[in-house]
Amino acid sequence: MNSTRFLSRSLGRYSNAATFLKQQRKVIVNARAFSILSSSTVQKAAIAKFNFLNGPKHYQPNQIRTLKTLDFSGTKENVYERSDWPKEKYQNYFKDDTISILGYGPQGRGQGLNARDNGLNVILGLREGRSWNEAMKDGWIPGKSLFSIEEALKKGTIIFNLLSDAAQKQLWPQIKPHLTKGKTLYFSHGFSIVYKDDTLVIPPKDIDVIMVAPKGSGKTVRTLFLDGRGINSSIAVFQDFTGKAKDKAVALGVAIGSGYLYETTFEREVFSDLVGERGVLMGAIQGLFLAQYEVLRARGHTPSEAFNETVEESTQSLYPLIGANGMDWMYAACSTTAQRGALDWYKPFHDAVKPVFEKLYVSVANGTETRRVLEKNSLPTYREELEKELKEISESELWSAGKVVRSLRPENK
Ligand SMILES: NC(=O)c1ccc[n+]([C@@H]2O[C@H](COP(=O)([O-])OP(=O)(O)OC[C@H]3O[C@@H](n4cnc5c(N)ncnc54)[C@H](OP(=O)(O)O)[C@@H]3O)[C@@H](O)[C@H]2O)c1
């Protein structure tokens, strides 16, 4: 689609197109963060509020966080909001607890820094190396707030298992003996618990097992917190020994920087997450980009033209608008030529890829995907192989063209 034509049509009603796009980008901070808000009513309300307040710094959470049960196209879902747990309340609730965070990857770092800034008693349990050094740079002090995994397990009453999913399996024999009666085991993914036949992660019966899974990267968990906003998270209880597991999940979810908390189960969280990242979030999108690019190139289009029409226009222009307003709005706002084509062609694309999604779901649900992750991640050559695969993508013509196009953006000059 011709970008200029599209933009002038679709932005005609905004007095300042640049301001509009800037604001839309702020709203669509992270596709995963917003993917859960599939109801256009909820999404529009939240976006209208963001736009009204003109950016994150002025965001007032309580102004739109009043609903407990939201209607998602006829399905009612419980949504917890952070105003239920003001800082003083959770600081008091966890005053006798030590939160031990195992792992300082994106989630360990984002959640750990937020919980520490929110005044909870947080320590880290890490092996020496990359994460340990990173933690020291962030002000965690060896012997005071930074310990070996073993030491942190001894000290913690609430154990955040934020190791990589493969390491959660590997270290389980070391972790399990420290999960004594009444402790809480916290995850940010249903992976280890749901695929217990493969991971062998089976918690003792006399502890609480909960999940807070931020719907976005750990970096976003931190940046949204610093902006005074909050990421959307899923919460779940797998095991409620104390009778307080749900309260703990909600309170900890707020303390680590969540805004809204959506109730789910460990199984639903991990199934949807694994499908999503293999599908529309990353796997399918690269497949679609590549297929379209290859066809355009084979038909004589230049790399820049094929890239612009495939990736640049979608990520820079259309996707943020779809995220902000929905597909119906998008179709209504484009030229009649684009509109007719999109309406006619989404069906064949849907029919072509649906069987692939069905196959993917089965592969997730029966554990094939998990076994592959565990097997690949435990190979000593994993990093080496990964770098090779990523280099192949990076050096492909599609993404090489992307580098040149991106370098022309004003912010990269
Ligand atoms: N990343 C996301 O977007 C995201 C979103 C939601 C939920 N989650 C979930 O959050 C959890 C943590 O994910 P993440 O992405 O933050 O971390 P990650 O990158 O998967 O894990 C990194 C951490 O695990 C440690 N680790 C790995 N192998 C180890 C071993 N053998 N012994 C000791 N430590 C080891 C690393 O330490 P070293 O630095 O020393 O190697 C590092 O601190 C996972 O369950 C993940 O599924 C992730």
DSSP states of 118-140: TT--EEEE--TTHHHHHHHHTT-
Which phi and psi (to 5°) does residue 263 adopt? -75, 135
Predicted local confidence at residue 411, as pLDDT: 87
Cα atoms found within 13 Å of the Cα of residue 341, Cβ hemisphere only = 6
Any atom of ligand 1 within 6 Å of the Cβ of 125: no
Q: Is there an atom of ligand 1 within 6 Å of 266 CB?
A: no
Q: Nearest Cα to 93, choosing from 80, 84, 102?
A: 84
Q: Which residues pair with 231 in a beta bridge?
A: 258
Element (H, E) at 219: helix 218-226
Residue nearest (by alpha carbon) to ligand 1 atom 18? 164
Which residues neighbour 131 within 8 Å (Cβ) at sequence distance 6 or greater?
Answer: 103, 104, 105, 108
Ligand 1: residue of 36, 102, 107 to mutate (most ligand atoms within 8 A of CB) is 107
40 lines ligand 1 (CB under 6 A): no
Instruction: Take atom 47 of ligand 1 and give the residue whose Cα is closest.
Output: 189
Kindly state if the Cβ of 127 falls inside 6 Å of ligand 1: yes
Report the nearest atom of ligand 1 relative to the CA of 166.
Answer: 28
Mutate to test the pocket of ligand 1, among 133, 164, 373, 376 (most ligand atoms within 8 A of CB): 164
Closest Cα to atom 38 of ligand 1: 131
Mark the ranges of the chain whose per-residue pLDDT is less than 50: 2-67
Q: Whose CA is nearest to atom 33 of ligand 1?
A: 127
Q: Is 279 in the pocket of ligand 1 (CB under 6 A)?
A: no
Provide the CB-side half-sphere exposure for 337 (13 A, CA): 5
Angle, nearest 10°, between helix axes 382-394 and 368-377? 110
Does the beta carbon of 129 sit less than 6 angstroms from any atom of ligand 1? Answer: yes
Q: Mapping DSSP to helix (H, G, I), strand (E, B) and coil, where does residue 100 land? A: strand
Asked if residue 237 has its Cβ within 6 Å of ligand 1, the reply is no
Alpha carbons within 13 A on the beta-carbon side of 271: 14
In this structure, the dihedral spanned by the alpha carbons of residues 294, 298, 301 and 304, taken in order and rounded to 10 degrees, is 30
Separation of CA 221 and ligand 1 centre (Å): 15
- One-letter-per-residue 3-state SS of 343-354: HHHHHHHHHHHH
- Tell me what pLDDT residue 410 has: 86
**pLDDT value at position 6?**
41
Enzyme catalytic residues:
189
DSSP-assigned states of every residue in 260-319: EEEE--HHHHHHHHHHHHHTTTTHHHHHHHHHHHHHHHHTT--HHHHHIIIIIHIIIIIH
Say how many Å lie between the CA of residue 172 and the centre of ligand 1.
14
User: CA–CA separation, 214 vs 241, rounded Å?
Assistant: 24
What CA–CA distances, in Å, run from 360 to 5, 140, 292, 354, 363?
Answer: 38, 41, 22, 10, 5
Ligand 1 contact via 112 beta carbon (within 6 Å): no
In this structure, which residue's CA is closest to atom 1 in ligand 1? 217
Distance CA(239)–CA(209), nearest Å, equals: 5
Indicate the annotated binding residues.
273, 277, 309, 313, 335
CA of 166 to the centre of ligand 1 (A): 8
Residue ranges for the binding site for Mg(2+)?
273, 277, 309, 313
Is residue 104 within 6 Å of ligand 1 at its C-beta?
yes
How high is the pLDDT of residue 35?
Answer: 33
In testing the pocket of ligand 1, which one of 162, 252, 277 has its CB within 8 Å of the most ligand atoms? Answer: 162
- Secondary structure (3-state) at 34: helix
Ligand 1 atom 31: residue of nearest CA: 167
List Cβ neighbours of 273 (8 Å cut-off, separation of 6 or more): 189, 190, 213
Q: Atom 22 (ligand 1): residue with closest C-alpha?
A: 105
Distance 161 CA to ligand 1 centre (A): 9
- Which residues contact residue 151 at a Cβ distance below 8 angstroms, ignoring those fewer than 6 apart? 125
Single-letter residue type at 174: Q
CB atoms within 10 A of CB 133: 11
Local structure of 201: helix, strand or coil: coil
